[in-house]
A = this chain, B = another copy of it.
Amino acid sequence: MSATVNQLAGQLAGEPSPDGEAAREPIPALDGAVDALTRLVRADLDEVNRIIVANMDSEIALIPQLAGYIVASGGKRLRPMLLLGAAQLCGYEGQRHQGLAASVEFIHTATLLHDDVVDGSDLRRGKASANEVFGNKPSVLVGDFLFARAFLLMVADGSIDVLHILSRAAAVIAEGEVMQLAAANDIATGEETYLAVVRAKTAELFAAACEVGAVVADAGPAARAALAQYGRALGVAFQLVDDVLDYSARQARLGKAIGDDFREGKITLPAVLAIAAGDADERAFWKRCLEDLDQTPADLDHALVLMQRHGTLDQAMDRARGYGAEARAALAGFPASPVRQILLDIVDFCIDRDY
Contact = CB atoms under 8 A, between A and B. Distances in A.
A60 B201 CA distance: 13
A254 interface: no
The 4 A-B residue pairs with the shortest CB-CB distance, nearest first, are A148-B171, A145-B174, A148-B170, A151-B167
Given A58-B175, A58-B178, A117-B140, 13 more contacts: A60-B175, A63-B178, A114-B144, A118-B140, A118-B141, A138-B181, A141-B181, A144-B173, A145-B178, A147-B147, A147-B170, A151-B170, A155-B164
A182 interface: yes
Contacts of A160: 155, 158, 160
Interface in A113-155: 114, 117-118, 137-138, 140-145, 147-149, 151-152, 154-155
A62 interface: yes
A153 B147 CA distance: 16
Interface in A31-89: 58-63
A309 interface: no
A256 interface: no
Interface string A147-190: 11101101100101001100110110111011101100000000
A62 B140 CA distance: 20
Contacts of A61: 182
B177 A141 contact: yes
Nearest to A147: B147
A136 B170 CA distance: 20
Contacts of A143: 144
A171 to B, nearest CB: 4
Number of copies: 2
10 contacts: A60-B175, A60-B179, A63-B178, A118-B137, A140-B140, A148-B173, A151-B151, A155-B167, A158-B160, A160-B160
A62 B148 contact: no
A171 B149 contact: yes
Nearest to A166: B151
Nearest to A59: B175
B141 A163 contact: no
A60 B173 CA distance: 12
A160 B181 CA distance: 34
Most buried by B among A140, A170, A177: A140
Contacts of A141: 114, 118, 174, 177-178, 181
Contacts of A175: 58-60, 63, 145
Contact of A178 (B110, B111, B142, B178): B142
A138 B177 CA distance: 9
Contacts of A152: 164, 167-168, 171
A140 B114 CA distance: 7
Contacts of A181: 62, 137-138, 141
Contacts of A147: 144, 147, 170
A151 B142 CA distance: 18
Nearest to A149: B171
A167 to B, nearest CB: 4
A178 B148 contact: no
Nearest to A114: B140
A196 to B, nearest CB: 9
A223 to B, nearest CB: 22
Contacts of A164: 152, 155
